[in-house]
Amino acid sequence: MNHPDTTATLSFTPVVMAGGSGTRLWPLSRTGYPKQFLVLSGNSSLFQQAVSRLEALAGNGLTVNPLLVVGNEEHRFLVLDQLRELKTKAGAVVLEPAGRNTAPALTLAALKALEAGDDPVLVVTPADQTVIDGAAFRAALQQAVEAAADGTIVILGVTPDRAETGYGYIKASGPEAVTAVERFVEKPDLETAQRYIAEGGYYWNSGMFVLRASAWMAALDRFRPDIADATRSAWAARTTDDLFVRPGAAEFATVPAESVDFAVMEKCPGSAAGISMVPLDAGWNDLGAWDAVWQVGHKDDAGNCCVGDAVLADSRNVLVHATSRLVGVVGLDDIVVVETPDAVLVADRSRSQDVKKIVARLTTEQRAEHTAHRKVHRPWGWYDSIDQGPRFQVKRIMVKPGASLSLQMHHHRAEHWIVVTGTAEVTNGDKVIILTENQSTYIPLGETHRLANPGKVPLEIIEVQSGSYLGEDDIVRFEDTYGRG
């Protein structure tokens, strides 16, 4: 492998792991639109913040290579849309056919990075974290990249400011800027966490790693050759479509699901592989539950943090996140209220981690609220199911400029389309017509049709469906720009 980097000029490849599901931030985070793509703090999504933080490392002797994203096939257009908003073009987006946890995901990134014959330093971060102090973050990453250039595996350890039971911990051997890791410890109970803080030398495990691609593969070959071999087989069967790289689905299905920590990192201390840590004191938070969102949010004098339309009285340390209507709270302390158009969560803030129990029940009962919002994002735009009843459904649909839905037909429903804003190009059987504001058309049951936006501004329509069955699976696609069946 080529190691062209020197201490004078170091290059690294940013790797953003964007495949998580964020179940503990339900109902805002859902399988189809998980937390990394949500705006929970600031004006950009957590994924966008992660990308921007890594790009900001350029300078002071560091050069940033093209971005690598590892994510879920289902979210590929969310990734592209959010990168486009940043005016960032990824080097590649590696799409996992199925979730296999972070060790296989990092392995895919390493194999992609090694593809050209180079062996870059990888700066690996989850897509769902937030950092307040950008300068401190950049300083810590600079040290980590320099330490990893010689083949050392480096992890970022967050300086703790409280006894936290929701994080794993790292025991460092000393206070140096780059220090050896003595051991990893699992999420402790409160008494153990308090002891760690009192003793000192313990750090939160941030899940951010800096290492050469070859160093990861060597460690994985040593500790988990089954994951290494199975992932290599999936990589050998990959296909490429522009930025998208798809490992072989059948081969990837055989890859054991394991985290980076369990597969490799926890086995490194005390072995010849070793592992180093750089302390990170930058206002880090993984926003793993609603309590964490409250912790980093802007609060009033009573400790209340509100997003959206909320009115509170005689309440303290409450988090309210309202998305579509007014939420009133009276006489409550340490409570979380999260409102979305189709679901409301009310929880004790100290029990935020247990939201996953609600999601588990929704999954068991096969309820749609755990997978998708009422407003569903698609590659061409979005639709919002604003009303429904027996034999009818009303949707608000937005189509991006230049985008189109598939050429399709339905067996069980007819549709009326009314243009609200923009210009619609409508294929209806063998006719193609142009509709503008306040104009409408009717699509009979069984007719082949397509909706497109030929204009320069977003197209919005109201769609009224009527028929015996209105499910999204009543779609027969004949042509589709986005490769859906």
pLDDT at 281: 94
Torsions phi, psi for 68 (to 5 deg):
-115, 125
Decide the pairing of beta strands 10-18 and 121-126.
Answer: parallel
What is the separation of C-alpha 144 from the centre of its chain, rounded to a whole number of angstroms?
24
Asked if the model's pLDDT at residue 118 lies above 80, the reply is: yes
pLDDT at 271: 67
398/144 Cα distance (integer angstroms): 44
328/319 Cα distance (integer angstroms): 12
Average pLDDT, the chain: 92
132/53 Cα distance (integer angstroms): 11
pLDDT at 384: 94
pLDDT at 484: 62
Domains along the sequence of the chain with CATH: 10-280 (3.90.550.10), 290-364 (no CATH), 375-479 (2.60.120.10)
Residue from 284, 328, 285 nearest 306 by CA = 328
pLDDT in tens, 256-305: 999 999 999 988 886 666 799 999 999 999 888 999 999 989 999 999 99
Give the strands of the sheet with 335-340, arranged side by side.
Answer: 305-307, 319-322, 335-340, 343-348
pLDDT at 8: 54
Average pLDDT over residues 191-215: 94
pLDDT at 471: 86
Give the 3-state secondary structure of 81-114.
HHHHHHCCCCCEEEEECCCCCHHHHHHHHHHHHH
Decide the pairing of beta strands 375-378 and 381-389.
Answer: antiparallel
Asked if the model's pLDDT at residue 23 lies above 80, the reply is: yes
pLDDT in tens, 144-153: 999 999 999 9
pLDDT in tens, 68-110: 999 999 899 899 999 999 999 899 999 999 989 999 999 999 9
The region of weakest confidence among 225-239, 300-314, 466-480 is 466-480
Average pLDDT over residues 339-358: 95
pLDDT at 207: 93
What is the separation of C-alpha 464 from the centre of its chain, rounded to a whole number of angstroms?
33
Please classify residue 18 by burial: count the beta carbons closer than 10 Å to its beta carbon, then call 0-12 exposed, 13-18 middle and 19+ buried: buried
pLDDT at 2: 54
Asked if the model's pLDDT at residue 485 lies above 60, the reply is: no
Non-local CB neighbours of 43 within 8 Å, separated by 6+ positions: none
